[in-house]
Amino acid sequence: NLKLDNLFKKKLIPRMTCTASKKLLRIMYKKKTNLCLAADLQNWTEVLEVARTLGPHICLLRTHIDTYNLENYYQVVEFRKHLKDLATKFDFMIMEDRKFADIGSTVQRQLTSKPFEIAQWADMVTVHGLPGPGVLQCFEGLENIAVVVIAEMSSTGNLGRKVSDYKHECLKITDGYDKIVAGFVSHSKIRVDRKDTFFLQFTPGVALNDYTGGDGLGQQYVYVDDAILDRGADVIIVGRGILKHGNENWREVAEEFQRNGWSALVQKLMN
Ligand code: 5BU
């Protein structure tokens, strides 16, 4: 489809100043997927298994490295090496959902300290906007890692939604950091005023149409079409929507998210 090819290659990708988001958009277009897997499994070997199984269907794999039963530094190194190999093999990127929320100087140390050494293997990492621009500034000397700013969480009663303009303020602190900011996590549409730059919106709390209700701990779900067409998502982040099924069904369910997600994204972008 020539129109779609033009849209991605001539309009969207050139408007990105952040290398990581450019790369992600290229992967999305090439693999026809806007699915990000939230790899929330207990054992690091299971995380590698799901990455191997779903690698062809995802553009991004989102980790919580501090939840994987990694027992020592050597296991961390082994895990991240295998994960990087799979990312290269299947062409997906890695986002560590670390949600940094401290002063820049501390975040800088958290990014580089053992055992996780996040800056060495993650392509992107999430941060809260709460501390202000210092939380972005501290990434300036680091190469190969981009930032995704959490502008609005998906959980019920989250305080960000109660503070007027919190979401908008999160956008404002990224002014001047176009090179390191890949985009925003948000559960509703974010409006970026800087017209010449295209940022990606990542939306968690996404389920297929067979699902109703939350998870009993505050998570709120929306359907794939809602997330993309009404709430402005470019990338959908899905964990339990896939992982609650047995591993023999992971691929089939992920394919459904991929199909629905991609067709909604094309519909959104072509309008
Ligand atoms: P789920 O299993 O699809 O509900 O998992 C969603 C993931 O996204 C989970 O790992 C959360 O930590 C993550 N998440 C979220 O659900 N809501 C948010 O606002 C942010 C992250 Br930020």
The string of pLDDT tens digits covering residues 196-238 is 788 999 999 999 987 777 888 988 899 999 999 999 999 999 9
Position 195 pLDDT exceeds 80: no
Position 124 pLDDT exceeds 80: yes
Catalytic residue among 22, 97, 167, 234: 97
Using alpha carbons, select from 260, 216, 217 the residue that is nearest to residue 238.
Answer: 260
Residues 186-205, mean pLDDT to the nearest whole number: 86
Residues 7-21, mean pLDDT to the nearest whole number: 92
Residue 234 CB–ligand 1 contact under 6 Å: no
Residue pair 176/156 in contact (Cβ under 8 Å)? The answer is no
Q: What is the DSSP string of 217-234?
A: SS---EEHHIIIIIT--S
State residue 193's pLDDT score: 66
| 125-146 residue pLDDT tens | 999 999 999 999 999 989 899 9
Q: Compute the distance between CA of residue 77 and CA of residue 70 in angstroms, rounded to an integer.
A: 10
Average pLDDT, the chain: 94
Is this structure's pTM higher than 0.80? Answer: yes
State residue 215's pLDDT score: 85
Give yes or no: 225 in active site. no
Atom of ligand 1 nearest to the CA of 99: 22
Q: Compute the distance between CA of residue 197 and CA of residue 99 in angstroms, rounded to an integer.
A: 24
Query: Which residues have C-beta within 8 Å of that of residue 92, sequence separation ≥ 6?
Result: 27, 51, 55, 58, 59, 60, 61, 86
Tell me the CA–centroid distance for residue 222 and ligand 1, in Å: 12
State residue 141's pLDDT score: 86
Atom of ligand 1 nearest to the CA of 62: 10
Atom of ligand 1 nearest to the CA of 238: 3
Catalytic residue among 102, 178, 226, 230: 102
